[in-house]
C-alpha cells in the first residue's frame, strides 16, 4: 500500500516538474524574443504599410482613421 502512494507521489512531482519547466521555457523564450534586435529594413514598417485584410492589425489604415477621430474628439 505504501508503494502505491510513493508511485503516485512520484507521478505528481514529475507532473509539477514538467509544468515548472514549461513555465521557465516560456519566460525564457519571451525574454529572448523581447531583447532580439529587429532585422535590417524592419525597423519602421508603419511608413511602408498600406494595410491588408487583417482588420485587427494596428497598422491597418482603418484603425488609423479611428485613432484620428479619437484624437480630434479629445482636442475639442
Query: Which whole number is the average pLDDT over 49-60?
Result: 68
Tens of pLDDT, residues 16-50: 999 999 999 999 999 999 998 877 766 666 555 66
End-to-end CA distance of the chain: 76
φ/ψ of 37, rounded to 5, equals: -75, 150
Going along the chain, which residue ranges are E strands? Answer: none
Q: Could you tell me how far CA 66 lies from the centroid of its own chain?
A: 24
Q: Is the pLDDT of residue 4 over 70?
A: no
**pLDDT on residue 50:** 63
Q: How confident is the model at residue 74 (pLDDT cuts 50, 70, 90)?
A: low
pTM, two decimals, is 0.50
Spatial contact of 66 and 55, defined as CB atoms under 8 Å apart = no
- The domain limits of the chain are 2-35+50-75
pLDDT at position 14 over 90: yes
Amino acid at each position: 500500500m505504501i508503494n502505491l502512494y510513493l508511485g503516485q507521489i512520484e507521478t505528481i512531482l514529475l507532473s509539477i516538474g514538467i509544468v515548472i519547466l514549461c513555465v521557465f521555457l516560456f519566460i525564457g523564450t519571451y525574454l529572448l524574443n523581447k531583447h532580439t534586435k529587429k532585422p535590417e529594413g524592419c525597423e519602421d514598417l508603419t511608413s511602408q504599410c498600406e494595410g491588408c485584410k487583417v482588420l485587427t492589425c494596428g497598422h491597418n489604415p482603418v484603425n488609423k482613421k479611428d485613432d484620428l477621430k479619437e484624437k480630434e474628439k479629445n482636442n475639442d
